[in-house]
Amino acid sequence: MDLKLFAVTFMTVFLAELGDKTQLATLSIASESNARATVFFASALALVATSALAVIGGEALSRLVPPIWIRRAAGALFLVLGVVFLVRK
């Protein structure tokens, strides 16, 4: 296992998820429930499932498109969405 890749991936996803709408939704559900362990395991499994889809999709896409173009497209999409969210009423 590549520990550097593990650490970079962990920190990137961890920081991206802080304050994310998913985290806020999980916080809301947990605050209304007495079954916090269930909320934790369900939300953790959901994150694992979406990450698995991203890995599978990324692997498949990288067979068709060079990784540099995937990164560029992802960066451009982030910028476009950022502008849309800033100017949206």
5-64 per-position pLDDT tens digit: 999 999 998 888 888 888 899 999 999 999 999 999 999 999 999 999 999 999 999 999
Judge contact between 47 and 22, C-beta under 8 A: yes
Q: Is 87 left (phi over 0), alpha (psi -120 to 50) or beta?
A: alpha
Q: What pLDDT score does 20 carry?
A: 83
Using CA atoms in the order 10, 47, 52, 68, what is the torsion angle rounded to 10 degrees?
-50
Q: What pLDDT score does 89 carry?
A: 72
Q: What pLDDT score does 49 carry?
A: 96
End-to-end CA distance of the chain: give it in Å, rounded: 46
Count: domains in the chain: 1
The answer to whether residue 75 scores a pLDDT higher than 80 is yes
Containing domain of residue 43, as a range?
A: 3-87
Q: What pLDDT score does 70 carry?
A: 92
Mapping DSSP to helix (H, G, I), strand (E, B) and coil, where does residue 64 land? Answer: helix
- Of 50, 15, 64, nearest to 73 by C-alpha is 64
pTM of the model: 0.70
69: confidence class by pLDDT, cuts 50, 70, 90? very high
